[in-house]
C-alpha cells in the first residue's frame, strides 16, 4: 500500500495539470469504489473546478470550487495520471474524470481496492486520522503525548492511522532502525529519549523518501521512486546490516512482517 511519501509524490505530480481546470464528465468502470453512487457523483462533480490538491495521511484531497471535496484513497495498487483523452484506455482504468481542456484524470487500480468520495464534510472520511507527522505544528512534545495510555507493540502502533497518519510497513521499519528500537517493543516501555529519537527518525525517513519520490517496488505501480535504493532494513532479510554487518532479521507482527537488526536495535 502506498504510504505518505508515495501519496505526497502523486499530489505534487497532479497539481500542475489539474489546478484551475473544470470537470466536464466522469466515466466509472467499477462502481463499488464510488461513494456516493456514480450517478450522484457525476451530477455533483461536473462544472466544479480544482482549486487545491493536498494530502491527509494516505488520502488525496481535491478542494473544488463548489462546496464539495473529492477524496481518493489509492489503497494497495491505485494510481492517478493525467493524460489526453486520445490515449487509449487501459484495462485497469476504473474511474475516468474528464476535463474541459480535453485531458482526463484516470484512476488506475488493478486490484480494485481504491476508493473515491465526494463529500461536503471531509471529517466523515478523515476525522479519525491521527496527526500529520510533517505538519509544522506537530512538535516533539505532541508526539510524546500520543503515547499516553498506549501499551501495544511499537511497530503496529506506528502503522495505526488513528495514532499517526501516513506511516506504513516500509517507513515504520526504517524509522525504528534509525531510532535503535526493535519493532516488537511495547510502547509503554520506551523511555523519553527513545521516543524523541523515534520522532526525529520518522521525520528524517519521510523527508528523505519524499526527496526520492517515494519507493517503487516490483509491481511498478509507482514510477520513478528511488527510495528503495536507500533501504536500511526493509526487504533486506539476511543481508548484512549497513551499520554493523550482522544479518538483518524478519519477524511477523500481527499480519505484517518487520525487519530489524538484532545488534543495532536493542
> Which residues are marked as active site?
2-3, 58, 256
Sign of CA dihedral 190, 193, 195, 201: negative
Closest CA to 152 of 179, 190, 180: 190
Q: Is 152 buried (19+), middle (13-18) or exposed (0-12) by CB count in 10 A? A: middle
Residues whose CB falls within 8 Å of the CB of residue 212, separated by 6 or more in sequence, listed in order? 5, 225, 226, 227, 229, 230
What is the grid cell recorded at 49?
A: 473546478
**Cα distance between residue 179 and residue 155, in whole Å:** 12
223-258 exposure pattern, b = at least 16 Cβ within 10 A, e = fewer: eebebbeebbbbbbeeeebeeeeeebbbeebeeebb
What is the grid cell recorded at 246?
A: 550482522
Q: Is the Cβ–Cβ distance between 114 and 107 less than 8 Å?
A: yes
Would you give the end-to-end CA distance of the chain in angstroms? 28
Q: Is the Cβ–Cβ distance between 213 and 4 less than 8 Å?
A: no
Amino acid at each position: 500500500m502506498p504510504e505518505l511519501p508515495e501519496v505526497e509524490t502523486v499530489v505534487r505530480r497532479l497539481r500542475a495539470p489539474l489546478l484551475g481546470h473544470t470537470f466536464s464528465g466522469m466515466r466509472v468502470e467499477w462502481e463499488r469504489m464510488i461513494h456516493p453512487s456514480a450517478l450522484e457523483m457525476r451530477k455533483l462533480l461536473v462544472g466544479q473546478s480544482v482549486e487545491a490538491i493536498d494530502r491527509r495521511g494516505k488520502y488525496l484531497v481535491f478542494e473544488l470550487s463548489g462546496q464539495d471535496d473529492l477524496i481518493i484513497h489509492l489503497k494497495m495498487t491505485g494510481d492517478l495520471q493525467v493524460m489526453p483523452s486520445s490515449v487509449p484506455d487501459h484495462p485497469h482504468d476504473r474511474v475516468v474524470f474528464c476535463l474541459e481542456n480535453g485531458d482526463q484524470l484516470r484512476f488506475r487500480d488493478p486490484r480494485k481496492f481504491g476508493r473515491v468520495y465526494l463529500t461536503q464534510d471531509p471529517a466523515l472520511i478523515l476525522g479519525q486520522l491521527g496527526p500529520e507527522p510533517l505538519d509544522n505544528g506537530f512538535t516533539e512534545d505532541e508526539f510524546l503525548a500520543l503515547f499516553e495510555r498506549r501499551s501495544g507493540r511499537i511497530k503496529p502502533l506506528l502503522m495505526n492511522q488513528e495514532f499517526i497518519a501516513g506511516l506504513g510497513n516500509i517507513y515504520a521499519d526504517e524509522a525504528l532502525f534509525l531510532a535503535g528500537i526493535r519493532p516488537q517493543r511495547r510502547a509503554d516501555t520506551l523511555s523519553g529519549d527513545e521516543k524523541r529519537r523515534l520522532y526525529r527518525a520518522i521525520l528524517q525517513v519521510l523527508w528523505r523518501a519524499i526527496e526520492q519520490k517515494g519507493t517503487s517496488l516490483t509491481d511498478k505501480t509507482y514510477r520513478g521512486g528511488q527510495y528503495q535504493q536507500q533501504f536500511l532494513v526493509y526487504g533486506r532479510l539476511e543481508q548484512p546490516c549497513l551499520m554493523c554487518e550482522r544479518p538483518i532479521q524478519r519477524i511477523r507482527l500481527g499480519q505484517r512482517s518487520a525487519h530489524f537488526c538484532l545488534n543495532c536495535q536493542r
